[in-house]
Copies of this chain bind each other. A is one copy, B any other.
Amino acid sequence: MEKYRFTYEDIHRTARDIARRVREGGFEPDLIVAIGSGGFIPARIIRTFLGKPILAVGIAYYDANDKPTDTPRKVQWIEEAERTLAGKRILLVDEVDDSRVTLEYCVRELLRHEPAEVAVAVLHNKDKEKRGALPQDVVRYIAGRTIPDAWIVYPWDAEDIDEHDRLAAGNPRIE
């Protein structure tokens, strides 16, 4: 399977582009919700351009006995903040839309608190069949880039960032 390596600078530019599209689309979020831990870095960069606070949620795919599961489980949620979600415009951020299961789960959980709107933004959407589906309430979905169903290597996962940057120069071309 092909590997796509993105540099931090790639990620920064993609996050800035997402913020621009959020604004140009007329969406003014009240807050950003980052899905941890992959959404932390894109959310933090998007915050620079949108200037809104970030709340974090943690989702895991293992059960209480550390066994892998197919269904997401909350490891962190935003209780104090939940009562403030009602009527708010939320921008939900993650790094990648792969199976869409995590995004669907998080959107459904957020919608229970009757926000004014939940918009979704990801750095990368993998062009593939999705197991999850976004509820119809989600009318804004922004993927920084859409890429083939390949193995993505993010810079924050690099053991050696200089080697990662060198290898990223040889990425397969994204049409």
Residues of A bordering B, CB below 8 Å = 7-9, 12-13, 16, 34, 36-37, 40-41, 43-45, 47-49, 53-56, 58, 60, 74-81, 155-159, 161-162, 165
> CB-CB < 8 A to A77: which residues of B?
79-80
A9 with B161, Cβ < 8 A, contacts A40-B54, A45-B156 known: yes
Per assembly, the copies of the chain total 2
| CB < 8 Å neighbour of A48 from B12, B53, B78, B156 | B156
> CB-CB < 8 A to A45: which residues of B?
156
Alpha-carbon gap, A34 to B156, bound state (A): 15
Alpha-carbon gap, A66 to B155, bound state (A): 36
A12 with B155, Cβ < 8 A, contacts A53-B58, A55-B58, A81-B75 known: yes
| CB < 8 Å neighbour of A8 from B8, B36, B37 | B8
